[in-house]
Chain A
């Protein structure tokens, strides 16, 4: 099946810093989503971005499908940004495998 690798696995930053999270995938995809998992376990949708660039407030994302990677940018980090960020992709080769998730980036923003 398709492989999804996220980096870095852990990231500790001071409040106000900027960060870039990376997602590499091993095959062509027709769906890519970024999620933030809050402390209670819920996955919050950040971006649905199979290609191109999107922005939502302090967050933005870019997917370069031809090069099989996506980047999530967080600017002016706040303590509420802490949590685990997941990238998930849908293989475009057919089948009913659902989204394949990476292992996540655990982000800690210190005050």
Chain B
């Protein structure tokens, strides 16, 4: 079993749909992250959670709603997205917020029609 698992790997949704991305880490880490990777742009940090508390929201539009029910699981709820939100969404975890080595999941590739 890999350290950080993301589902689904691929998602196509319309602008009026509601969907969720799921991330699970099996490394015993206390911090989890959502990053966004768009074409031709560096990876951008979206959210940071430490022990289920959100510690960073990097000016992300409210159509992206994170949820961290426990230290092993992280969700990204999506609603009324725009085509420009199409991107690779990567989940990561580390020992603590901004502490230790960061490990990434395989990513969820999102296409908004």
Contact = CB atoms under 8 A, between A and B. Distances in A.
Interface residues of A, number: 23
A41 interface: yes
B88 A98 contact: no
A4 B45 CA distance: 14
A96 B56 contact: yes
B107 A41 contact: yes
B56 A42 contact: no
B16 interface: no
Interface residues of B, number: 25
B98 interface: yes
Contacts of B102: 33, 45, 88, 98-99
A96 B48 contact: yes
A43 B98 contact: no
Interface of B: 33, 35, 37, 41-43, 45, 48, 50, 55-56, 58, 88, 90, 97-98, 100-107, 109
Interface of A: 4, 31, 33, 35, 40-43, 45, 48, 86, 88, 90, 95-104
